[in-house]
Structure 1
Amino acid sequence: MQRPVSAEIVSIPIMGASKSLSDRHTLFVSVRAVESGLLDGLVAHEVGHMLRTEQDHASHSPDVFRLIEKEVRIPRAGEGAFSAAFNHIQDIYADDLAFPVFSGTDGRRAYDFFSAWIDNNAATKTRNRWQNVGEAATNGFALGNLVRHALIMPEDPLWDRARGFDRQAGFEVVDSLASFYSDLPQDPAPAAFVAQVQHLAGLLSKAAA
């Protein structure tokens, strides 16, 4: 890490976040994270974001963000779902660095963490199709991240729970999303990364149609 890092314990609805500027990083940690037993994993994840920013990785590059704004199209109604799905791309690359800490000695901690996401999403299904597509993207990210780190098998019942969410919402997209996240290239060139984001936008739009 080349830039200094400061940390703040704050009241926020998520476990934590980070903010990177040209001369420093700031780590924000929720009180809930401090009490959760997941603090080391959270710190590793946010440090992963900081390192990707310092590396100017395509997933964390302001120049690439500007290309995405110009070249990726998503309906206004889907902007929230797309934003969440794109954040999960960034999370994949941060977790590639963080998983040795976050996953635990046998990977069980990561599996339990992401399976809880899928189970919680099953209870949040709404009549808003785009919102449901956004939840499906989160399910796909959770599964894809586990696949990427060899922590889930094809016959795992977690797949059925995620597919069940899709069926109730009236689309079938979680398998494609899981493959998308699990297969993201390690260090894509900017143009290749933008093409990946365009593919993601297409998956989401097709499911929402």
Structure 2
Amino acid sequence: MDLRVRGDVPADPFLGAADLFETECDLDLPVYVDVRTDPDERTWAAHYEDRHVLNISRQAATSAMARELVVHELAHMARNEEGHASHHLKTEEALFLALSGESVERRKVAHCYQIANHMKDIYADDITLSVMPSEKLVSFLESELARAVATRSGPAPWPESRRVTAGSDPEITAVNAAFALGLVERHDVISRDHRLYDLAHAAADDAPSVDLDAFKRRFRSLGDDPSDSDYRKTLVDATRAYVVGESGTGMAAD
């Protein structure tokens, strides 16, 4: 893998992430890492015809989660290169189909983008969790959900890879909790008495309009390699379930 770090930060987390990633995958295009000064930006990937760009804040690049963050973004790049539907379907297209004729609050539209990003994250983390242990990711999800349940205000992104984050309002916090449970159940990495379940149910109690279990199933049961039309329908169904309470079809049962 051709990975080049452009910024005054230790290279070890990036090189370690590349080594881990290459045990299962590789990238055809070079990866340029740009270190940013804004600590709130964390990480996001951009894709071009001749390269990928990993944008990462200095704070994230020097954190205990640096290697894990980089592996996660490399996984997004791999999904992009393979042409996976989740990483090529334009989110706006699905949201237009889902919300046509509806009057939707701006915050809920933003939440719908976050749901779409959660679905992308599921597919990226299918790769992430195939190359590295799950413990640090689970601890991160747990700590961020605990913070979100405690604060219950404001937006919640990991940019472009938007995970559970402190400060969400109750409705999207409940969806974030469903994402966390869907991911860990999809990979069977925690027991049923893990604290993440208690936190998720606390989040659900604060947002009775959100069906935690239904959203958990949506995330957990995403098909490995959906067609563009199947993926579009899945995202449309999830969007309508969040905004107008329609359950959609095709969800796997518990």
* TM-score, structure 1 as length reference: 0.86
Equivalent residues of 1:117, 1:142 under 8 A apart: no
Count of aligned pairs: 203
* Rounded Cα–Cα distance in structure 2 between residues aligned with 1:138 and 1:75: 23
Equivalent residues of 1:4, 1:25 under 8 A apart: yes
* Rounded Cα–Cα distance in structure 2 between residues aligned with 1:171 and 1:8: 40
* SS of structure 2 residue aligned to 1:22: coil
Are 1:10 and 2:36 an aligned pair? yes
What are the equivalent positions in structure 2 for 1:91-102 lying under 5 Å apart? Answer: 91-102=121-132
User: Which structure dedicates a bigger proportion of its chain to helix?
Assistant: 1
* SS of structure 1 residue aligned to 2:222: coil
Partner of 1:160: 198
* Rounded Cα–Cα distance in structure 2 between residues aligned with 1:66 and 1:125: 27
Report which stretch shifted further, 195-204 or 180-189: 195-204
Structure 1 segments, 4+ long, off by >6 Å, are none
What are the equivalent positions in structure 2 for 1:18-97 lying under 5 Å apart? Answer: 18-62=45-89, 65=91, 67-73=93-99, 75-77=103-105, 78-97=108-127
Q: Deviations 1:113-144 (Å, cap 9, x if unpaired)?
A: 1111210110232499x942222221111111
Gaps of 5+ in 2: 1-26, 156-167, 247-254
1:40 partner amino acid: R
* Rounded Cα–Cα distance in structure 2 between residues aligned with 1:8 and 1:67: 30
Equivalent residues of 2:95, 2:239 under 8 A apart: no
Gaps of 5+ in 1: none
Q: Over the residues paired in the alignment, what is the CA RMSD in angstroms?
A: 2.4
Equivalent residues of 1:14, 1:30 under 8 A apart: yes
1:95 partner amino acid: D
* SS of structure 2 residue aligned to 1:170: coil
Q: Deviations 1:141-175 (Å, cap 9, x if unpaired)?
A: 11111111111233433212211122123334222
1:76 partner amino acid: V
> How far is 1:40 from its partner?
1.5
* TM-score, structure 2 as length reference: 0.72
Considering Cα pairs closer than 8 Å and 6+ residues apart, tell me whether 1 or 2 has the greater RCO.
Answer: 1
Q: Deviations 1:47-94 (Å, cap 9, x if unpaired)?
A: 1111111111110114x5464244222643110110111111111111
1:198 partner amino acid: V
Partner of 1:122: 149
2:139 to 78, 97, 112: 112
Equivalent residues of 1:18, 1:25 under 8 A apart: yes
